Amino acid sequence: MEYKEYALGDAYELQNAGGIVLICTRANDGRFDLAPVAWCCPMDYDGASKFLCVLDTGHKTYSDIIETREFAIALPTAQQLDLIKKCGSKSGFMTDKYGEFGIESFPGRKISIKLPVEVAGWIECKMISVNPVGTSGVITGETLGAWAAPDFWKMRVHFVTGNTYFSPGEKL
């Protein structure tokens, strides 16, 4: 996949269209993890784009971000629906998902992270804040770098509920 690099202030465009993301993380012990997250949106584009993600505080990805203060927001494609479901079916506390699911990956460019090959794009972030609210943790992050394929938004996957997903149609 050919990726265009985005200016830090334009990175929000990658998630303007919304859709499922794969939050990719690393723990202090060097292990990597990733999990699908539907609740992730842009919140600012002044300087570097900022994002918020809502993660269950029991998730491995959540504790990884608290440990390393870094994460990536990867944009999976419709062809990666199976990967999305698999990564959402198990916790990184129980298994190494990259090994168990045979996920081919490439390294992050600004942070030490593993990204699944053939994603439509990704945004590397440093954590700015974490705000636990009950069992949910609201994590905010600032863009360190962002890359996406041309027309990445056409490849995105959106989640409704249960087993209902859709992919965007044509540009209007």
CB neighbourhood size of 43 (10 A): 12
Q: Is 157 helix (H, G, I), strand (E, B) or coil?
A: coil
Query: Which amino acid is present at 2?
Result: E
Residue 168: both structure tokens together: 């965007």
**Residue from 19, 36, 108, 121 that binds ligand FMN (CB under 6 A)?**
36
**Residue from 10, 44, 56, 118 that binds ligand FMN (CB under 6 A)?**
56
**Residue from 44, 69, 78, 88 that binds ligand FMN (CB under 6 A)?**
88
Sole window of 59-67, 105-113, 122-130, 139-147 interacting with ligand FMN (rule: CB under 6 A)? 59-67
Residue 53: both structure tokens together: 């993600």
> What is the DSSP code string of 134-150?
TTEEEEEEEEEEEEE-T
The nearer residue to ligand FMN, 9 or 27, going by C-beta atoms, is 27
Tell whether residue 90 is a contact of ligand FMN (CB under 6 A).
Answer: yes
Tell whether residue 39 is a contact of ligand FMN (CB under 6 A).
Answer: yes
